Amino acid sequence: MPLRHIHFVIDDAPPPRLDKALARDVPVDAALSRTRLGRLIADGAVSVAGDVVTDPRARVEAGMEIAIAVEEAQDSHILPEDIALEVVFEDADLIVINKPAGMVVHPAPGTPSGTLVNALLAHCGDDLSGVGGLKRPGIVHRIDKETSGLLVVAKSDAAHHGLAAQFEAHSVERYYRALVYGVPDANDPRLRGIKGTNFEPGNILKITTQLARHKHDRQRQAVLFHGGRHAVTRARTVERFGTPAALAFMECWLETGRTHQIRVHMAHAGHGLVGDPTYGGKRKLAAKALPEAVAEAVRGFERQALHAAVLGFDHPISGEKVRFEASLPADMQDLLALLQAVT
């Protein structure tokens, strides 16, 4: 198998461990993450001063010569497909996509093709330098099939590691737009009685729970208060519709990022998303709150009304702060226009 040879010298005042010293001093254009470097050490691909070293804790000193033999990235088993993508930003390290509703992010047994990954393999081609030894896009976060909006995907191992670390640290800026039933309000006594919900200044709804897979339906997530994974969502009302107010256009942002988090949390608070077949619940519009034609458009909305509108992070290679925005897709814009015309 073809090998790529990387040579460099340990700089002054290195960390005492080999793995940490390599992570600090390996050339940026080598595009090797800490995880990948750890595997290369274990596989005997790293030489220090001419000797193979397989102990990540081995001590190193400034001036030591390092040689790393890296197998060239192999093609992924996933097939590229020529599917149109809306590219918001792209460079040698990453790509930001405005994903349409209806597109699955990664192939799975039920959706082996037609996914974002299939499309990216075709779009990026030889620009993928390799993630984990394979020529594949590095998926560091996902949005649901029927949710539209922004996703960042790594094109190199180093970018994948840097982005994944930011998502793990919850430092990535992520704002969503959603249309929900009802209007969350700090003066609503019902909300004050729901465990895990409270209001912050500015009428900002904060929902804090644990989330885990539902005991009886593995496709769903469930709210827990013991076990599971910590999850925090905040939301504020941007616009309300109906007389009496029956719907709210919300801005939601994540402190954590769990599967279905906004959908589950808003449903837990009694404000399920319009069009959500899984968590939307059976809440109905108040009689005569909206003209019948508009109410029918709300009831007939064919997906959860949720859009990933803002994505901000530190570029994993340059360190530059970057921020991207994506306008609402046509289906949500059209529904909002109908609601605004009668409010």
Q: Report how far apart the first and last C-alpha atoms of the chain are (Å, whole number).
A: 66
Lowest mean pLDDT among 126-130, 146-150, 157-161, 293-297: 126-130
Lowest mean pLDDT among 118-132, 200-214, 223-237: 118-132
Place of tokens 């909305």: 301
Phi, psi dihedrals of residue 144, rounded to the nearest 5°: -60, 155
144 in active site = yes
Which residues are CB-neighbours of 155 under 8 A, at least 6 positions away?
Answer: 92, 93, 94, 95, 124, 127, 128, 129, 131, 137, 138
Here the tokens at position 145 are: 């099939």
Q: Please tell me what DSSP assigns to residue 201.
A: T
**% of the chain exceeding 70 in pLDDT:** 94
CA dist 165 to 97, 134, 313, 314, Å? Answer: 20, 20, 11, 11
Q: What pLDDT, on a 0 to 100 scale, did the predictor assign at position 76?
A: 62
Question: Which among 124, 157, 119 has a CA at the least distance from the CA of 140?
Answer: 157
Q: What pLDDT, on a 0 to 100 scale, did the predictor assign at position 22?
A: 95
The tens digit of pLDDT for each residue in 185-198 reads 999 989 888 999 99
The tens digit of pLDDT for each residue in 324-333 reads 999 999 999 9
How far apart, in whole angstroms, are the C-alpha atoms of residue 4 and residue 21? 20
CA dist 5 to 47, 48, 223, Å? Answer: 11, 14, 50
Q: Which of 51, 93, 127, 144 is catalytic?
A: 144
300 compared with 71, residue with greater pLDDT: 300
**% of the chain exceeding 90 in pLDDT:** 71
Here the tokens at position 306 are: 């949720």
Q: Residue 219: is its pLDDT beyond 90? A: no
Q: Residue 151: is its pLDDT beyond 90? A: yes
